[in-house]
């Protein structure tokens, strides 16, 4: 008995120097608080704890992360940034320009991120050639989620153009269902609008308008047509839509109350969490008019410079864990997106995801891969916010004409 | 100051008293000092800091190079800002008016020697105890057309009853007034009740002896003597109206769209979400200037009056 | 201190009395309705909520929502309910209330009994601090807290709440002490009593009514604060208002209204308790001149 105690004590002493090495803490700011999303974050937590680090959750709820961003800024200004924060798109460059982000090349180079990520993605993750952020997934935003039962009961056909959409929506409404499940929040309004705009105007025009912010593209007949189409779609949204959360709108489709929802593929996470099977209980189709186009939204974490070496190490563990094959698979299975890491085995993913991955590669080659402006991939927050204001005002002000909206969009594009 | 006492050499007494005097003239300032320093730094200092930022092109984090009036120009070219201002005027005036009117009415009613006065008072007062997040959550549920009040009345048989202010762009700010007034009226009532109870009975009795009727007594004697209470209530209500941020965020999120935006939520959105700190700072300065223009003369005159 | 009612005007007229009571009861119903809705919703099951309407009583009373809200509801990834956040709030509210009340008392004392040239103007300056919208101070305060090394901590929250509570506590005490006759302190000064002695022996014993008012006000303001809480704290240290907001915005497919309501009530319980129990002292304190001056 004594011997084993001594042995144990010796063992503990022998291991003690190694105890502190892996004990870094990561504090991760995010707003993934709904069902499918929360599960995904829990996965990351598990991975990190397997590496010996501790995960300090820092969830700040609220739709598109507004409160989270406020908190983040305050924390950075106070000199105590979290280890990582959920930030994406051009904002990454804005943060990097302030000089507060950590250089992730020590992880990126050995793990050869350049060869694992498509260039359209890695460019966004870098600042002046160095990695400052790590991507988590690829979401396709221009999806349309369909409940086939509802369509069958209404005798409607899944639309591939916006004109067909009007016909199908009419039939669904007549059959007593809600045609379009939608939540009246600015980001959802814009998500809907950008799919319409892409379907009406095509990828080339979309890029001119929303990436280049060309005023001639913004204040154009194409833009007016997009808004006119939005006005038409509005007729098919129920009146309880204002302020409804996106996942509650998805629930309406899941439960057979509504026929379709225009939402990115994170909606699939809700279907999965409800035990529904793709192709049988629900169908994923590209939004009308956007069959060969792919609107991408890439979630990523930016990493802040840390002074504490154990935190730095934990941060690198986090970056490495996110790009890890196992995590990429599990996380994306739960969240509804596809792995951003190329060349992965997608056998566990459902048909929608496989379609998405194939489309992603094809669109990249064919030049129809466009960043989602509603999800901060295309432009800086200032013009994006101003455009949100225009689109939301248009939806809520029946008297606003498409022409007026187009003019305001051009003005919005000038915001800095 | 020190009466000379026969037989005592006041010259000996004086030096010690002078030290004590000195301490006692300095001590009050020392005691008040920290608070004033805090006010100086954390209120006025920060206001100056914000003012400086409103003259810069700060975006995601503060920057300090002077850039002129560019943010103010942008501010007044912004549709959303004008709506926020309009909403503040509507919300502020209605909120203050209803709180004062209903608060005064309730206080007068409660003052009539009512049974269960304490109980009723607690009922009117308890909303003040709630956080705006709680109030917003509850009222969002109540004002929701499909699940709340409208649904209830329709179930009672009134098929065409609509009460969907909260989701109607032009009416959403009035929904905020309802929830806000519900929350704050009780406190104003308590203040008025305290004020009513403090009025000297003799004056009332004298007026009654002179033959004045109840309405006359109220309008000529009681209500005017409640003037300090009106003043205090106005300060507290004004303070709540201007700071109204939590309530709007919880109740309507500023929506639908941004139709129930107030300057406080506007500032927050632009500074923190749009990465336009400069513009947010400009809007904050406008808010502050409006406040100062209204409140300062009022406070100063009332403080002076009481001397 | 309660004055006898003056308006014998409403006296014998039964109709007038009836009208008064009717109005009061109608208003009472209006004020109680949201609380009623919150409580009944929190006791219903989700099916009950969907099937019924706002004011219907629960078909079967269920405490599940409460248990979940306290111990297992998800506020983000952490699913431990509100109990931790409840303790967080307590840990910074109590010190902040105590400190700001104490300082406010001294300030009010100085401003009324130890006036010096310019003290009234200083008071006005202080009062304006009541109106500053907190959004304006978020970033500079964040920077300051960072320099002081107390950012993102409970002491930081205490610090912030004390600073911004001083204007109100000073106002309360100053307006109260203004009604204390100056002769009291003059006599004491002639007798040789000093600054602290007068405060301790004379002023403090008179103060309970206003202390109660001040404590109730500060407790309510600080407990219910959201903005400072969300910006200056994080994770498990968040106050209960922030956790409540997270909880209400964390939906898993179905919005659990009953849990949301139960959580809202839990967050509101301490302040409700204070108002219900100490409400009459609050009123007494106000009557004693808190806002008369």
Residues B270-294: tens digit of each pLDDT: 887 788 888 888 988 888 887 777 7
pLDDT at A204: 92
C155 to A26, B147, C94: CA distances (angstroms): 22, 42, 12
* Nearest chain A residue (CA) to B269: A66
Distance CA C54, CA C47 (A): 13
Q: Is the pLDDT of residue A222 over 90?
A: yes
Parent domain of B39? 1-54
Q: Is the pLDDT of residue C253 over 70?
A: no
Distance CA B46, CA A210 (A): 37
Convert the pLDDT of each residue in B196-208 to its tens digit.
877 777 887 888 8
Compute how many other C-beta atoms are within 10 angstroms of the C-beta atom of residue C56: 15
Q: Is the pLDDT of residue B17 over 70?
A: no
Q: How confident is the model at residue C159 (pLDDT cuts 50, 70, 90)?
A: very high
Q: Is the pLDDT of residue C292 over 60?
A: no
In the block, residue with structure tokens 């649904």: B151
pLDDT at C76: 63
Convert the pLDDT of each residue in B153-173 to its tens digit.
777 787 777 777 877 778 888
C91 to B269, C96, C99: CA distances (angstroms): 30, 9, 13
Determine, yes or no, domain membership for B181. Answer: yes
B195 shares its domain with B287: yes
Of B104, B214, B194, B189, nearest in space to C16 by CA: B214
Q: Is the pLDDT of residue A9 over 50?
A: no
Q: Is the pLDDT of residue A12 over 60?
A: no
Preferred mutation among C11, C55, C283, C288 to probe B, highest tally of B CBs within 10 A: C283
Give the strand order in the sheet containing A137-140: A338-339, A137-140, A294-297, A369-371
C87 shares its domain with C57: no
Residue B189 is part of a domain; what is its CATH number? 1.10.3720.10
C184 shares its domain with C238: yes
Determine, yes or no, domain membership for C99. Answer: yes
How many residues appear in chain A? 416
The answer to whether A69 contacts B166, with C-beta atoms less than 8 Å apart, is no
Q: How confident is the model at residue A18 (pLDDT cuts 50, 70, 90)?
A: very low
Q: Is the pLDDT of residue A236 over 60?
A: yes
Quote the percentage of chain C above a pLDDT of 70.
Answer: 88
Q: For residues C165 and C96, is the Cβ–Cβ distance under 8 A? A: yes
C282 shares its domain with C147: yes
In the block, residue with structure tokens 């064919």: A366
Determine, yes or no, domain membership for C67. Answer: no
Q: Is the pLDDT of residue C7 over 60?
A: no
Compute how many other C-beta atoms are within 10 angstroms of the C-beta atom of residue C199: 20
Q: How confident is the model at residue A229 (pLDDT cuts 50, 70, 90)?
A: very high
Distance CA A166, CA C282 (A): 62
B259 shares its domain with B228: yes
Chains contacting chain C through 3 or more C-beta pairs under 8 A = A, B
Q: Is the pLDDT of residue C74 over 80?
A: no
Cis peptide before B256 (omega within 30 of 0): yes
Q: For residues C104 and C173, is the Cβ–Cβ distance under 8 A? A: yes
Compute how many other C-beta atoms are within 10 angstroms of the C-beta atom of residue B202: 8
Quote the percentage of chain B above a pLDDT of 90.
Answer: 9
Among B148-152, B279-283, C66-70, whose mean pLDDT is lowest?
A: B148-152
Question: Taking every pair of C-alpha atoms in chain A, what is the biggest distance, in angstroms?
Answer: 88
**Could you give phi then psi for residue A305, rounded to 5 degrees?**
-60, 130
Q: Is the pLDDT of residue A6 over 60?
A: no
In the block, residue with structure tokens 């992965």: A344
Q: For residues C139 and A77, is the Cβ–Cβ distance under 8 A? A: yes
C135 shares its domain with C58: no
Helix (H/G/I), strand (E/B), else coil: A26: strand
B44 shares its domain with B97: no
Q: Is the pLDDT of residue A3 over 70?
A: no
Domain count along chain C: 2
Determine, yes or no, domain membership for B101. Answer: yes
What is the rounded average pLDDT of the residues A81-94? Answer: 88
C182 shares its domain with C216: yes
Give the strand order in the sheet containing A283-286: A178-180, A258-262, A143-146, A283-286
C88 shares its domain with C142: yes
C168 shares its domain with C284: yes
Parent domain of C143? 83-290
pLDDT at B169: 79
Provide the shortest C-alpha distance from residue C49 to chain A (in Å). 16
User: Cβ contacts (< 8 Å) between A57 and chain C: which residues?
Assistant: 76-78, 235
C24 shares its domain with C163: no
Q: What is the ipTM of this complex?
A: 0.76
Residue C261 is part of a domain; what is its CATH number? 1.10.3720.10
C28 shares its domain with C92: no
pLDDT at C288: 57
pLDDT at A23: 65
List the beta bridge partners of residue A134. A301
Q: Is the pLDDT of residue A191 over 90?
A: yes
CATH assignment of A143-295+369-413, given 3.40.718.10, 3.40.47.10, 1.10.10.10, 3.40.190.10?
A: 3.40.190.10
Determine, yes or no, domain membership for C1. Answer: no
List the beta bridge partners of residue A85. A29, A302
Distance CA C202, CA B66 (A): 54
pLDDT at A26: 86
Query: Going by C-beta distance under 8 Å and a sequence separation of 6 or more, which residues neighbour residue B51?
Result: B281, B285
Distance CA A322, CA C290 (A): 59
The answer to whether C252 contacts A34, with C-beta atoms less than 8 Å apart, is yes
C126 shares its domain with C204: yes
C34 shares its domain with C112: no
What is the rounded average pLDDT of the residues B225-243? Answer: 80
A-B interface: how many C-beta pairs under 8 angstroms?
A: 88
What is the residue-averaged pLDDT of chain C?
81
The answer to whether A62 contacts C245, with C-beta atoms less than 8 Å apart, is yes
C118 shares its domain with C174: yes
B154 shares its domain with B46: no
pTM for the complete prediction?
A: 0.79
For residue A58, the number of C-alpha atoms closer than 13 Å in the C-beta half-sphere is: 27
What the block records as the tokens of A63 is 């739709």
pLDDT at A182: 94
Determine, yes or no, domain membership for B41. Answer: yes
**Contact B252/A at CB under 8 A:** yes
Distance CA B134, CA B127 (A): 10
User: Cβ contacts (< 8 Å) between B111 and chain C: which residues?
Assistant: 5-7
Query: Going by C-beta distance under 8 Å and a sequence separation of 6 or more, which residues neighbour residue A260?
Result: A144, A145, A146, A147, A179, A180, A181, A253
Q: Is the pLDDT of residue B236 over 80?
A: no
Distance CA C76, CA C234 (A): 12
Q: Is the pLDDT of residue B145 over 60?
A: yes
What is the rounded average pLDDT of the residues A156-170? Answer: 93
In the block, residue with structure tokens 């509005």: A234
Among A28-42, A71-85, A326-340, whose mean pLDDT is lowest?
A: A28-42
CATH number of A24-139+297-352: 3.40.190.10
Distance CA B283, CA B263 (A): 7
What is the rounded average pLDDT of the residues C12-30? Answer: 85
The answer to whether B257 contacts A389, with C-beta atoms less than 8 Å apart, is yes
Q: Is the pLDDT of residue C112 over 60?
A: yes
Among A277-291, B111-125, B181-195, whose mean pLDDT is lowest?
A: B111-125
Determine, yes or no, domain membership for B183. Answer: yes
Helix (H/G/I), strand (E/B), else coil: B230: helix
What is the rounded average pLDDT of the residues A50-68? Answer: 76
Q: Is the pLDDT of residue B7 over 60?
A: no
Among A18-27, A102-111, A202-211, C180-189, whose mean pLDDT is lowest?
A: A18-27
Q: For residues C54 and B146, is the Cβ–Cβ distance under 8 A? A: no
Most confident of A403-412, B118-127, C18-27: A403-412
Convert the pLDDT of each residue in C170-223 to its tens digit.
988 888 888 888 888 888 888 877 788 888 888 888 888 888 888 988 998 899
A222 to A33, A227, A292, A411: CA distances (angstroms): 37, 9, 19, 16
Helix axes A186-210, A381-396, angle to 10 degrees: 120
Q: How confident is the model at residue A117 (pLDDT cuts 50, 70, 90)?
A: confident
Residue ranges of chain A assigned to CATH 3.40.190.10:
24-139+297-352, 143-295+369-413
User: Cβ contacts (< 8 Å) between B257 and chain A: which residues?
Assistant: 186, 189, 389, 392-393, 395-397
Domain count along chain B: 2
Provide the shortest C-alpha distance from residue A225 to chain C (in Å). 34
């Amino acid at each position: 008995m004594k011997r084993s105690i001594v042995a144990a004590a010796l063992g503990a002493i022998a291991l003690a120097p190694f105890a502190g090495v892996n004990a870094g803490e990561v504090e991760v700011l995010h707003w993934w608080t709904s069902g499918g999303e929360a599960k995904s974050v829990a996965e990351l937590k598990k991975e990190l704890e397997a590496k010996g680090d501790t995960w300090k959750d820092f969830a700040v709820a609220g739709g598109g992360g507004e409160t989270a961003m406020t908190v983040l800024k305050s924390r950075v200004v106070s000199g105590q940034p979290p280890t990582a924060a959920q930030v994406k798109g051009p904002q990454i460059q804005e943060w990097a320009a302030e000089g507060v982000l950590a250089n992730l090349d020590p992880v990126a180079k050995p793990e050869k991120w350049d060869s694992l990520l498509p260039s359209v993605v890695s460019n966004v993750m870098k600042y002046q050639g160095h990695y400052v952020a790590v991507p988590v997934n690829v979401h396709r935003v221009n999806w349309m989620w369909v409940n086939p039962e509802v369509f069958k009961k209404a005798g409607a056909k899944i639309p591939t153009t916006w004109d067909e959409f009007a016909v199908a929506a009419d039939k669904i409404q007549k059959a007593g269902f809600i045609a379009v499940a939608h939540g009246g929040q600015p980001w959802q309004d814009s998500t809907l609008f950008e799919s319409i705009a892409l379907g009406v105007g095509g990828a080339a025009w979309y890029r001119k308008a929303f990436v280049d912010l060309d005023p001639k593209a913004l204040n154009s007949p194409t833009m007016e047509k997009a808004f006119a189409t939005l006005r038409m779609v509005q007729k098919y949204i129920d009146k309880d839509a204002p302020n409804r959360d996106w996942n509650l709108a998805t629930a309406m489709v899941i439960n057979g109350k509504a026929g379709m929802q225009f939402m990115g593929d994170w909606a699939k996470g809700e279907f999965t969490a409800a035990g529904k099977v793709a192709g049988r209980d629900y169908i994923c189709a590209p939004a009308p008019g956007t069959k060969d186009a792919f609107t991408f939204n890439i979630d990523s974490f930016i990493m802040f410079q840390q002074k504490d070496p154990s935190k730095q190490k934990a941060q690198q563990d986090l970056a490495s864990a996110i790009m890890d094959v196992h995590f990429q698979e599990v996380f994306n299975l739960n969240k509804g997106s596809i792995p951003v890491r190329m060349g992965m085995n997608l056998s566990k993913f459902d048909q929608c995801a496989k379609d998405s991955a194939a489309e992603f590669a094809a669109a990249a080659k064919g030049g129809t891969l466009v960043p989602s402006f509603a999800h901060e991939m295309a432009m800086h927050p200032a013009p994006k916010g101003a455009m949100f204001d225009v689109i939301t005002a248009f939806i809520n002000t029946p008297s606003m004409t498409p022409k007026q909206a187009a003019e305001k969009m051009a003005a919005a594009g000038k915001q800095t | 100051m020190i009466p000379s006492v026969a037989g005592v050499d006041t010259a000996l007494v004086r030096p010690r008293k002078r030290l004590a005097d000195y301490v006692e003239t300095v001590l009050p300032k020392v005691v008040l000092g920290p608070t004033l320093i805090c006010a100086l730094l954390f209120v006025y200092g920060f206001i100056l800091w914000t003012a400086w930022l409103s003259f810069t092109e700060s975006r995601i984090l503060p920057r300090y190079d002077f850039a002129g009036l560019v943010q103010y120009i942008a501010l007044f070219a912004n549709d959303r800002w004008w709506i926020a201002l309009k909403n503040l005027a509507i919300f502020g005036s209605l909120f203050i008016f209803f709180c004062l009117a209903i608060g005064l009415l309730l206080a007068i009613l409660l003052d009539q020697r009512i049974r269960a006065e304490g109980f009723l008072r607690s009922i009117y007062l308890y909303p003040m105890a709630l956080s705006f997040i709680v109030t917003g959550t509850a009222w969002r549920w109540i004002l929701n057309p499909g699940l709340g009040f409208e649904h209830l009345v329709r179930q009672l048989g009134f098929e065409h009853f609509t009460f969907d202010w909260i989701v109607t762009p032009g009416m959403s700010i009035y929904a905020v007034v309802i929830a806000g007034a519900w929350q704050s009226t009780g406190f104003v009532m308590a203040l008025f009740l305290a004020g009513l109870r403090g009025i000297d009975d003799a004056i009332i009795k004298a007026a009654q002896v002179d033959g004045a009727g109840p309405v006359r007594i109220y309008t000529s004697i009681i209500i005017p003597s409640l003037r300090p209470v009106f003043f205090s209530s106005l300060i507290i209500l004004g303070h709540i109206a201007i700071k109204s941020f939590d309530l709007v965020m919880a109740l309507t999120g500023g929506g639908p769209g941004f139709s129930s935006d107030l300057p406080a939520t506007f500032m927050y959105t632009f500074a923190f979400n749009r990465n336009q700190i400069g513009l947010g700072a400009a809007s904050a300065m406008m808010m502050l200037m409006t406040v100062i223009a209204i409140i300062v003369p009022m406070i100063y005159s009332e403080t002076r009056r009481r001397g | 201190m309660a004055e006898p009612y003056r308006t014998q005007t409403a006296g014998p007229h039964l109709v007038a009395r009836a009208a008064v009571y009717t109005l009061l009861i109608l208003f009472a119903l209006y004020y109680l309705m949201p609380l009623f809705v919150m409580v009944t919703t929190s006791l219903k099951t989700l099916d009950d909520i969907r099937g019924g309407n706002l004011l219907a009583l629960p078909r079967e009373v269920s405490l599940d929502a409460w248990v979940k809200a306290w111990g297992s509801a998800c506020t983000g990834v952490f699913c431990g309910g509100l109990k931790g956040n409840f303790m967080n709030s307590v840990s910074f509210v109590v010190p902040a209330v105590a400190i700001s009340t104490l300082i406010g008392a001294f300030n009010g004392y100085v401003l009324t009994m130890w006036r010096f040239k310019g003290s009234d103007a200083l008071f006005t300056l202080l009062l304006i601090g009541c109106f500053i919208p907190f959004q304006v101070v978020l970033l500079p305060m964040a920077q300051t807290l960072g320099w002081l090394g107390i950012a993102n901590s409970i002491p930081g929250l205490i610090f912030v709440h004390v600073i911004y509570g001083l204007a109100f506590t000073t106002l309360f005490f100053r307006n109260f002490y203004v009604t204390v006759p100056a002769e009291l302190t003059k006599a004491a000064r002639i007798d040789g009593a000093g600054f602290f002695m007068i405060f301790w022996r004379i002023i403090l014993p008179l103060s309970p009514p206003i202390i109660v008012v001040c404590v109730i006000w500060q407790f309510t303001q600080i407990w219910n604060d959201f903005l400072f809480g969300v910006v200056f704290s994080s994770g498990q240290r968040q106050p209960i208002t922030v956790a409540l907001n997270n909880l209400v915005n964390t939906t898993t497919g179905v919005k659990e209204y009953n849990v949301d309501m139960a959580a809202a009530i839990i967050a509101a319980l301490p302040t409700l308790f204070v108002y219900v129990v100490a409400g009459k002292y609050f009123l007494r304190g106000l009557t004693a001149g808190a806002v008369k001056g």
